[in-house]
Amino acid sequence: MKKLVVLTGAGMSAESGISTFRDAGGLWDKYPVEQVATPEGYAANPQLVTDFYNERRKQLLTVKPNRGHELLAEMEQFFNVTVITQNVDNLHERAGSSRVIHLHGELTKVTSSWQPNNPNYIKELKPEEYEVKIGDVAADGSQLRPFIVWFGEAVPMIETAIDYCEQADVFLIIGTSLNVYPAAGLLNYVPAHVPVYLIDPKQVPIASGRPVHVIQKGASEGMVELKRLLVE
Ligand code: APR
């Protein structure tokens, strides 16, 4: 089967009711990114940051995958699909996608403050544990922190993501403004002969000027069109 590699961003989950970051009224308008998504912000006010992620985590219990997530999962009937997501929600998994690489971490997990990327300390929370408190500790005795890649931190999954991009037969981008690196640079690892599709209701500038088949629609409608183009 041909390999379909998909890079998704916040727009993928917009129709599920999760705010994007940089659209008007997006999350970074409401919460200063320096305060809630940097190691410095966490050091300055761990309670604020813990509350912010507790809220995001509890929102997962009220939202569900949209048709776009579902159609992407259905593409596994026709392709060997790898989803590389910048999203920290679990909607791709819940829609049935079987290989999901989370570049920016996962809301459903917590980890050690001292060694956030040590697999021994990464823990999946059950829904009844979604409210993390200051004083809850990891197995190494450090405060439990969200398993989220904050600005200024390394992106450990990027190497794995690059490997998949280099092997792609078809590449698809959905719902990302391509503002944040290294994720935004993944397209540069996709071989030149590989067709690239992009689904987004807004125009997203492609820095390299590489030709891209643009489907200027939301994720659900866009996936209907993509499916028509690729498999019908
Ligand atoms: N369907 C598809 N795309 C949509 C939809 C929709 N219904 N609604 C909005 N979009 C698009 C917007 O047009 C925009 O291009 O989703 C994109 C969202 O862009 P951002 O808010 O910048 O989100 P993203 O690119 O995922 O951000 C990357 O930045 O702060 C961080 O770590 C956070 O992972 C995030 C990273």
pLDDT digits (tens, 9 = 90+) for 7-43: 999 999 999 999 999 988 888 888 899 999 999 999 9
Q: Could you tell me if the CB of 175 is within 6 A of ligand 1?
A: yes
Of the residues 102, 104, 193, 213, which is catalytic? Answer: 104
- Give the chain's domains with CATH numbers: 1-18+66-104+155-232 (3.40.50.1220), 19-62+108-148 (3.30.1600.10)
Q: How far is CA 37 from CA 27, 32, 53, 73, 142, in A?
A: 11, 8, 10, 29, 19
The predicted model gives 171-187 an average pLDDT of: 97
Give the Cα separation of 135 and 16 in Å (integer). Answer: 33
SS3 call for 128? helix
Query: Tokens standing for 223?
Result: 């996936």
141 alpha carbon – ligand 1 mean position (Å): 36
Amino acid at 55: E
pLDDT of residue 101: 98
Place of tokens 């507790």: 54
pLDDT confidence tier of residue 195, bands split at 50, 70 and 90: very high
* CB contact at 8 A, 27 and 21: yes
Q: DSSP assignment of 27-50, as one string?
A: HHHHS-HHHHSSHHHHHH-HHHHH
Separation of 14 CA from ligand 1 center, angstroms? 8
Q: Which of 176, 179, 198, 203 to mutate to test the pocket of ligand 1 (most atoms within 8 A of CB)?
A: 176
| Residue partners of 51: CB distance under 8 A and separation at least 6 | none
